[in-house]
Amino acid sequence: MTRIGRFITLEGGEGGGKSTQARRLAEALAARGLSVLLTREPGGSPGSEVLRTLLLGGSIPWSPPAEVLLHFAHRAEHVEKTIRPALAAGTWVICDRFYDSTAVYQGDGQGADRQQIAALIALLDFRPDLTLILDVPVETTVARLATRGGGPDRYESLGEPFFARVRAGFLAIAEREPDRCVVVDGRPAPDAVTASLLAAIEDRLPVPTA
């Protein structure tokens, strides 16, 4: 299937504003007349959502290699059932987290084998056209998670040293892959962050005008 639409991923640590901004970007691009699909990982297809429950529910303490493989299982399903068909139909796809989150959370965060993760990324053979990394300092992550309410999920409960490793992991990916990745400061007010993200998209990808 040929890609006609563009595939944009939003990445970064907890509370950086990915979900907030993914919605805003989807609206802004749709307002320009584009067909847009907003999706997320883990999830985005029926089978992938089932795996999301197994991965984030916390009832099973997965071994690191199994957890990595489960992430690539939901991702393969998401790509084949949802993302590829959408791109082939000319739809732009905005995805809240993708493989960089596995590299960072399982690799940098939890010590899973990075070579194995790199091999699986190569095997998936499905690269985003653009990856927007929302970067915030650890204290911003902590403050935003505190105001969001609800109990901590699996990763939120791991604490500040984990958030710091995650932040450094995303910044290292951006340094290694500057053609694909743009780091955006997630600290300003939501409107300003959306404007920066749209500017990055326009800079990297030709956005058709409505």
Closer of 82 and 141 to Mg ion (Cβ):
141
Burial track 89-108 (b if 16+ CB lie within 10 A, e otherwise)? eebbbbbbbbbbbbbbbbbb
Span from 1-9, 13-21, 85-93, 195-203 in contact with ligand ATP (CB under 6 A) = 13-21
CA–CA distance, 118 with 192 (Å, rounded to integer): 34
Q: Name which of 33 and 190 has its Cβ closer to ligand ATP.
A: 190
Q: Which of 2, 61, 150, 189 binds ligand ATP (CB under 6 A)?
A: 189
* Residues 192, 142 contacting (CB under 8 angstroms): no
Q: Rounded to whole angstroms, how far apart are CA atoms 139 and 160?
A: 8
Checking phi first, is residue 194 left (phi over 0); if not, alpha (psi -120 to 50) or beta? Answer: alpha
Closer residue to ligand ATP, CB minimum distance, 85 or 137: 137
The number of residues that bind ligand ATP (CB under 6 A) is 13
Tokens for 113?
Answer: 């084998």
**Which of 201, 169, 206, 164 is CA-nearest to residue 182?**
201
Report, in Å, the least distance between residue 210 CB and ligand ATP: 26
Shortest reach from residue 64's CB to ligand ATP, in Å: 20
Minimum distance of ligand ATP from residue 57's CB (angstroms): 16
Task: Write the interaction track for Mg ion spanning residues 14-53; mark x where CB under 5 A is met and - where it is not.
Answer: ----xx----------------------------------
Which residues contact ligand ATP (rule: CB under 6 A)? Answer: 14-20, 144, 147-148, 189-190, 193
Which residues contact Mg ion (rule: CB under 5 A)? Answer: 18-19
